[in-house]
Structure 1
Amino acid sequence: MKLYISRIFLGIFLVSSQWILAQALSRHQFSVKGKCEMCKTRIESTALKAGAKQAVYSIDSQTLTLETDNSTSTDNILQKVAEAGHDNEKFKATPAAYEALPACCHYDRDSGALQTTAEQNEHSTKKENEFFVRGNCESCKARIEKAAKEAGARSAEWNAESQKLTLDFDPATTSSDKILRKIADAGHDNEKYRAADAVYKNLPSCCLYDRNIPFGEVNPKVHAEEGTNPSHAQHSLSETEGKTIEGVTVIGSKAATSLNKKEAGMVFNIDRKELLKAACCNLSESFETNATVDVSFSNAVTGTKQLKMLGLDQKYTSLTKELLPEIRGLASAYGLSFIPGRWIEGIQLTKGGSTVTNGYESITGQINTELLKNAAKPETSLNLFADFNGRTEANITSVSKINDQWSQTFLLHGNGTFGNTDMNKDGFLDRPKGTQINAAYLLNYNDLEKSGFGSHFGINFIKDERTSGQTDFNKNISQDKQSANGVGIDISRFQVWNKTGYVFKGKPYQSLGWMNQYTYHQQDSFFGLRNYSGKQHTYYSNLIFESILGNTNHKYKAGASFMYDGYDETYLTDQFKRNEIVPGVFAEYTLTGLKYTLVAGARVDFHNLAGTQFTPRMNFKYDITPQTILRLSAGRGFRTANVFAENQQYFASNRMVQIMQNGGNIYGLKPEIAWNYGASLQQEFKLFGRKSSVVADFFRTDFKDQVLVDLDRSPQQLTFYNLEGKSFANSFQTQWDFIPLKNFEVRLAYKYYDVQADYLEGRREVPFMARHRGFLNLAYATNKNTKGGFWSFDTTLNWIGKQRLPETSSNPQEFRLPAYSESYAVLNAQISRNFNPKIRAYLGGENLTSYYQKNAIVDFRNPFGNYFDGGMVYAPIMKANFYVGLDVTF
């Protein structure tokens, strides 16, 4: 089977090479009438059958771009296109051919045969100089008007609500065609030209308009922001049968979170509006209003929260920043706190199998974070935050243009937790004290419209120190000279990265990208009388070529990657060193049909310690109707476990660590391998006269050689070993989003998990995983006043069912835990006031139900005894906490 699949991808590479190395072709562009995706498929396939080497049809601009050799007549191609039913600038379809088209393909024929491009340009100057141009915000307005003036317009005025651009220009020196082309080169679709995908994706997240709004309709996002009826913002953007709609919002009138209907996989786009619904001081707190990701409650040892997806720990999700590997290896425990929430421009969350181009480690999905960059005008923001229990934060972000091609971003973050917080009165801190300094600089170059080049450079430095343990612990006195039990963690981290891309001239579908990153991470820490330290050097490189086979219905990516990880760890007196060297190659093919999209890919990685690994993945989407979408996915992933770094929450105990080696090359263990399968159904409908959506999905993950963390063999042991038998996770989720009243958004979700593994003592549920979870999020915003001010109210209720707890029956009676925890609910809420677009104040509360775990630490009175265990946290350990904050933009 592996050989058969490998031959398929070898064939793809060979075909790709033939296209890339083909002799020089002539390029032509003609006006052709069409209406929908079915028209696009028919026109392109007819042109290819008539001898075109490549054929790309744009519905928006009504143009067919051909590449032909010298032996092929373009007249013959256009004649065949007309015979297929499509008028063009040289030939008109017969009435019989036109009537034979499906009803959805019947374009307007009133104007007769199409004019040539030159005739169109001449005629356009005789009309009122008003054109439809897509955009969202003030940044779009500035960019569109600037591009128009650079192309020769005397004046340009763009209206965000009507999506209309009014021009004044001298026909002797320029033309509307030239101006609109320049605007498309700047990233904005218009009624004549469509922006290249690479340019569009490089716009700031606030400028990413919906590319499927029919020209002539108002912009629903603008209406939503101005407080008009959300039902207008939620109506179907295109009712044409078979046309895929991109960027439909899931939660309400403004796309704070959107499920991309064009993607084959389940890809959620989360923008800054969603992040502002909660405190969101760092990435670990960015998903508290998201039903897909489960956020564990921070324990007193690490002080950070952990994420879970599909019922499995965070380590099985690929966590990237700017599509580069980020939270992995030694950063597993604390990495989420290294990305401040105010630095985030947007998050892309992929549920289930992700693309093979981003690596082999993704098993349950991928979470990619994009940092602030590429502002159309200079903007500096200040954020101040403080809670009532001694935590303070400050963020300064500054994004500015250097010139037309260069822009830069300065990011600065500082936080501190002061004072002793001990709400349950057990003598231990409920969260660590400490400070963090985090600084980053980003430099961006964008010259795609001229040279085709774009580049992004970044550098980041972090210093993080935290202290935990008993309240009377003194970090200035060595552990062996004081009676108090303490925890000390000191982390230094440095990163530098670059992403460079090139879009081939005249071929917006063809590009080459190269990403490189170096990371240095050092941790020195102690937990009571045991110490743990580690250093990690990582170099990552990824080269990706993207193009098409014939037309844009057949796309492919191919490339090579390289990963180097150098680890040097010390636990107690034992030292563990290893170097992981992983070159790899990959290919991915995307087939787009009228109602379906198939993405199939595979990669081969040559791991020096884990051996050669073959990783195939597939995602399939079928539009049963424009409002009903079915998705299927399947894929394989593998990873090497970092048993010490990933389980530091258990170090604050007197458990002895045991690794049961079985001949593997990493701590004596084999790499973890998993297969993930998924299916989802998305249904959209009208409720209360407004858009509503229901999404139901099921995923299953099966493991081979999983590194099990066994807490049950003995309460005094922490045992690691490879799975012998079965380990699986079944995840079912259903989510309902609707808008019962104007400006009032509701999100309801229910999740069921069945996660079990064959431990040495038999099959058991994985501990600390509730089978049943409920979720409710309510969001309401008032209409904007004349100064742009408004109120917003957000509240989230999480209900967590009972969880299996580790076996402690061999402990004395007073130090035993029940077999299962009790269920509980946690309520978070926030009120914010936008005084104008530049000033925002907010007040919020976390865990307003004040439920907390009373027995968070076993035998807390004897922290150096055999039964002491601070790692058994399954619920909040702090009561209600309140916070305030201020955002100011200059």
Structure 2
Amino acid sequence: MKTFLKSLVAFSLLFSNILLAQTITKATFKVKGNCGMCKERIETTAIKTGANSALWSAETQQLTVEYDVAKTNPDELLKKIAEVGHDNEKFTASNEVYNALPSCCHYEREPSFLKSAENTTKTKAENQFFVRGNCSSCKARIEKAAKTAGANSADWNAETQIVTLDFDPAKISADAILKMIANVGHDNEKYKASDNVYKNLPDCCLYDRSLPFGEKSDLVHHDESAAPKKDFTQHADHVDKNIDEIKLIKLGEATTLNKKETGLTFNISSKELLKAACCNLSESFETNATVDVAFSNAVTGTKQLKMLGLDQKYTSLTKELLPSIRGLASPYGMNLIPGRWIGGIQLTKGGSTVTNGYESITGQINTELLKFNEKPETALNFFGDLNGRFETNITSTSAISEHWNQSILLHGNATLAKMDTNDDGFLDQPTGNQINASYLLNYNDLEHSGLGTHFGISFVKDERFGGQKDFDKNISQAQQSLYGVGIDISKFDIWNKTGYVFKGKPYQSIGWMNQFTYHQQDSFFGNRNYLGKEKTFYSNLIFESIIGNTNHKYKAGASFLYDDFDEDYLTQNYKRTETVPGLFFEYTLTGLKYTLVAGARTDFHNLAGTQFTPRLNFKYDVTPKTILRLSAGKGFRTANIFAENQQYFASNRQIEIIGNGGKIYDLKPEIAWNYGASLQQEFKIFNRKATLVADFFRTDFQDQVLADLDISPNKIVFYNLDGKSFANSFQTQLDFVPAKNLELRLAYKYYDVQADFAGGKRAIPFMAKNRGFLNVAYSTDKNSKGGFWNFDTTLQLVGKQKLPNLNSNPTEFRLPEYSDSFATLNAQISRNFNKNIRVYLGGENLTSYTQNQPIIDAKNPFGNYFDGGMVYAPIMPANFYMGVDFSFN
């Protein structure tokens, strides 16, 4: 027993000596980086250099290490980290090593963390302390707080970020004074201000919290165009905490092109949407050159968008990355998402990821609804125009607890005036009203539990009445001789997205999205009735991880889509149920200068058969400022010929279907390949940054459902493609800031869209080959109260369009082969009196160009030649509107 005790004592003494000899030190250093790959590289290098542990945060740009002073030291650690490409407070990486990093790792190198001679001049005495601030208001607040705490005097310098204190240590400590300064909103070397206090500072006082102490922010106030941090629930297919660290390169102040995204993706912020009236999603692209928006007919007043020279139906339109405007919602769904509800839009040209489904052919437009972003906000909007359209929006985002937040979105609009500016007896736009409500509930605890979830529910009721000006909506069409149009839409959505990030593995996550939608439309067009009901259930399960390291990522998952359609057109009923289980896999390879995303999915469609959908996206950074992108992919969809062609219901045209044995309206599904290439170049003009983007996309249809308007003016004939159908799209866009606060966007687009119709190859109608675009935006500097002016104008030039052949009609009811070219001009002036009140005044179609005879044979709407679907230009002349925004924090 004694021997054992002696041995135990000897072992204890030896172990104590070992512990005493090992002096563990913990330290924190500033190290620059950008993403998950940076994190892995920095931490691995630190541990290889001798650190016992290392933890780097992209958000704070800080590396915390524990190390044995006998084995390594800060200089050695930071030198090795610089040698692998990461600037820090002691050493700078060589340009050669930095440029060789993968593109996702290219952090902003300025301002430098380096403790240079310039920085070391900012020394301080014992009674001097670093305190962050920005302006004269900060100075007054800091000095007052110091005196309140007990200092005899205080002098804060905005340039050096140092406060000099005179105090009696017997009465008050420096810690107590600095704590009081933090309590009023100013970070310092001892204490950090609470987020709530900091966020409520005046705009001019919002300093940059990420800079090292001693450096002053170059910002005078918050950059309102900066993209907010993305909640993973907005991108449930990529539940990676590093998504918060994506940097965006500015094109204009409110639209950004994601430099690190493999596809050509534009991020449109809510600030961009405020440049125009933007009453709903269809009006959200008036200042965007990529999307073309026009009226679909002269009776219903609805707008449709086109992208890459093809109709809206070939673009995947999602809300919160869930299917939104598709199926029976295609013709009017854009009007059902209020503009003031939109928190942001992601617009991707060409093939998108396979994780979001198989229907995307020309691209994807995803709409994000307003969510809580750091501080609660309630906003109230009133809008009215000279055409008798009025609307009100109420939005409220707030935190319920540390991890829970909610959004309440309300909208109502009414069109009251019966406008007939061209005196053809028909309303230029229908009258009616809409009631719309949504509720969003979010939970986010990715940092601790790794769990997050998003729940949403919405309902909309929309009623529209058009037709002849004296038509009485309260009397049935059968009991009056006037031509009327009535559209009654009800839509209900409920959805949930839940994700989990595995602990210790920020690159590995799983997400599950589910949505149920009910859509009902009851409508009549003169003596024609169209009734439609659609019930949809969508589910998507996605697992994301790596193969070996973060250079090799993959996503795998399964989806399920259920669509139940019940349509009545005239006396015929069309019912069908589509069930589509699917599997998909996507692999991402990240190299030094390139990123490759290759994906494929297989969907087992009960009516269209098994469909294989491959897609490929490739990005190569020729230089840090020159980016080449290539894409290729396949998409397929089932055509909804009645819902998608309602613009022709207000006419005398009879519908004829020439089937070929398909199981959907006796037609086969639509299948197309899309190929694209783009070049993004950043450069300087007059020493100011500019960005030029040129892209070319081609879409080739393997099969297509054609809507032929040329066989007869009295028919619209549907049949499957027998031959070739293609769309070539070329666009070049320059974004430039020629002077302070002045933004310029200039674009040119060329389209060549043709198909082999039954009568031979010809151009697709209503598609201009040439389009020009110019947007100019200017804003004044903010005054002391946060007030400023915004001026915005957009000029669009639309070239000649091929028109349907109506030559068998009498001369007065014919159209020329091509339309005339025309120009439209929109402009808006807004005044922010402070951060809570904004008033805006604008005009649309200020050139007052309108189409001559938008309705053919309008005087005889029940006759053989009546046609309200031949619209290629604006219907209404110049319109003026006014609105006011109130916000409450």
Q: TM-score, structure 2 length as denominator?
A: 0.79
Deviations 1:224-257 (A, max 9, x none): 8599xxxxxxxxxxxxxxxx98301101xx3x00
2:396 to 387, 395, 398: 398
Quote the offset at 1:688 in angstroms: 2.5
1:600 to 598, 601, 613: 598
Aligned equivalents of 2:193, 2:582: Cα separation in 1 = 37
Q: For residue 192 of structure 1, what is the aligned residue in structure 2?
A: none
Correspondence list, 1:22-33, <5 A? none
Give yes or no for contact 2:31–2:61 (8 Å, CA) kept in 1.
Answer: no
User: In structure 2, do the counterparts of structure 1 residues 164 and 674 end up closer, same or farther at CA, with 3 Å as the change threshold?
Assistant: farther
Q: Distance in 1 between matches of 2:591 and 2:513?
A: 31
Instruction: Say which of 733, 744, 752 aligns to 1:735.
Output: 733
Q: What is the aligned partner in structure 1 of residue 568 from structure 2? A: 570
Rounded to whole Å, the distance in 2 between the matches of 1:99 and 1:459 is 52
In 1, Cα distance between equivalents of 2:162 and 2:552 = 34
How far residue 82 of structure 1 moved from its aligned partner, in angstroms, is 8.9
In structure 2, how many angstroms separate the alpha carbons of the residues matched to 1:552 and 1:210?
30
Q: Residues of 1 paired with 2:783 and 2:431: CA distance?
A: 42
1:377: Cα distance to partner? 2.9
- Corresponding position of 2:761: 763
- Work out whether residues 495 and 515 of structure 2, in 8 Å CA contact, stay in contact via their aligned partners in 1: yes
Q: Report the 3-state secondary structure (helix = DSSP H, G, I; strand = E; otherwise coil) of the residue aligned with 2:328.
A: helix
Q: What's the offset of the Cα at 1:129? A: 8.0
Equivalence for 1:889: 887
SS of aligned partner of 1:430: coil
- Alpha-carbon distance in structure 1 between the residues aligned to 2:160 and 2:708: 60
- Is 1:675 matched up with 2:680? no
Change (3 A) 1:759 1:401: same
In structure 2, the partner of 1:380 is 378
**Against the structure 1 CA distance between its residues 183 and 622, is the aligned structure 2 distance closer, same or farther, given a 3 Å change threshold?**
farther
Structure-2 change in CA distance of 1:217 and 1:286 (3 Å) = farther
**Distance in structure 1 (CA, Å) of the matches to 2:567 and 2:592:** 54
Give the residue type in structure 1 aligned to 2:887.
T
Contact 2:265–2:348 (Cα < 8 Å) also in 1:
yes
Q: Contact 2:54/2:63 (CA < 8 Å) preserved in 1?
A: no
Offset, 1:480: 1.8
> Which residue of 773, 776, 779 corresponds with 2:777?
779
1:248 corresponds to which residue? 249
**Distance in structure 1 (CA, Å) of the matches to 2:289 and 2:745:** 9
Q: Distance in 1 between matches of 2:72 and 2:526?
A: 78
Deviation at 1:482, TM superposition (A): 1.1
Structure-to-structure mapping, 1:460-471, within 5 angstroms: 460-471=458-469
8 Å Cα contact 1:783-1:790 kept in structure 2: yes
Indicate conservation of the 8 Å contact 2:857/2:867, yes or no: yes
Change (3 A) 1:548 1:56: farther
- How far apart, in 2, do the equivalents of 1:634 and 1:183 lie? 50
Look up the equivalent residue of 1:248 and give its one-letter code: I
Q: How does 1:420-431 map to 2 (within 5 A)?
A: 420-431=418-429
Match of 1:832 in 2: 830
- Which has the higher mean CA deviation after the structures are superposed, 304-313 or 441-450? 441-450
SS in 2 for 1:451: coil
* C-alpha contact 2:161 2:216 (8 A) present in aligned 1: no
- 2:648 pairs with 1:650: yes
* Aligned equivalents of 1:767, 1:530: Cα separation in 2: 25
Whichever residue aligns with residue 654 of structure 1, its letter is N
- Aligned residue in 2 for 1:632: 630
User: Is residue 2:429 matched to residue 1:441?
Assistant: no
Partner of 1:622: 620
Q: Which residue of 1 aligns with 2:321?
A: 323
- Match among 404, 412, 415 for residue 413 of structure 2: 415
Q: Map 1:1-80 to 2 at 5 A.
A: 61=61
Please give the secondary structure, in 2, of the residue aligned with 1:296: strand
- SS in structure 2 opposite 1:273? helix
Q: Which amino acid in 2 is paired with 1:833?
A: R
Does structure 2 conserve the Cα–Cα contact (< 8 Å) formed by 1:375 and 1:401? no
CA change 1:720–1:168 in 2 (3 A) is farther
Q: 3-state DSSP class of the match of 1:415?
A: strand
Matches within 5 A, 1:93-172: 102=97
3-state SS of paired residue (1:768)? coil
Cα distance in 2 between the residues matched to 1:591 and 1:562 = 27
Deviations 1:149-201 (A, max 9, x none): xxxxxxxxxx9x9999999979xx9xx9xx99x999999xxxxxxxxxxxxxx
- Other-structure match for 1:346: 344
Are 2:742 and 1:744 aligned?
Answer: yes
In 2, Cα distance between the equivalents of 1:163 and 1:657? Answer: 76
Amino acid at match of 2:667: L
What residue is the counterpart of 1:484 in the other structure? 482
Please say if residues 637 and 670 of structure 2, whose CA atoms lie closer than 8 Å, have aligned partners that are also in contact. Answer: yes
> Which residue pairs with 1:305 in the alignment?
303
The residue aligned with 1:659 is 657
Partner-residue secondary structure (3-state), 2:833: strand
Asked if 2 retains the 8 angstrom alpha-carbon contact of 1:226 and 1:784, the reply is no
**Structure 1: unaligned runs, 5 residues or longer:** 1-28, 67-74, 90-97, 112-125, 142-158, 188-207, 228-243
In structure 1, how many angstroms separate the alpha carbons of the residues matched to 2:570 and 2:457?
33
Partner residue, 1:530:
528
Deviation at 1:86?
5.0
Distance in 2 (CA, whole Å) between partners of 1:842 and 1:40 is 45
Aligned partners of 1:55 and 1:550 also within 8 Å: no
Q: Contact 2:130/2:214 (CA < 8 Å) preserved in 1?
A: no
Note the alpha carbon deviations across 1:554-581, whole angstroms, 9 max, x for none: 2221111111000000101111101110
Which residue identity is paired with 1:387? D
CA distance in 2, matches of 1:393, 1:782: 28
Secondary structure at 2:565 match in 1: strand
Alpha-carbon distance change, 298 to 84 in structure 1, aligned in 2, over 3 angstroms: same
**Paired amino acid for 1:715:** P
Match of 2:542 in 1: 544
In structure 2, what is the Cα distance between the partners aligned to 1:378 and 1:62? 29
Cα distance, 1:100–1:566 mapped onto 2, change above 3 Å: closer
Give the SS at the match of 1:505.
coil
Gaps of at least 5 residues in structure 2 are 1-25, 85-92, 102-108, 116-125, 139-155, 164-172, 183-187, 197-205, 226-244
Give the distance between the partners of 1:162 and 1:523, measured in 2 at CA. 64
Distance, in Å, in 1 between the alignment partners of 2:432 and 2:261 is: 42
User: Residues 211, 274 of structure 1: CA spacing in aligned structure 2 closer, same or farther, 3 A cutoff?
Assistant: farther
Conserved 8 A contact 2:793-2:827: yes
**Structure 1 length-normalised TM:** 0.79
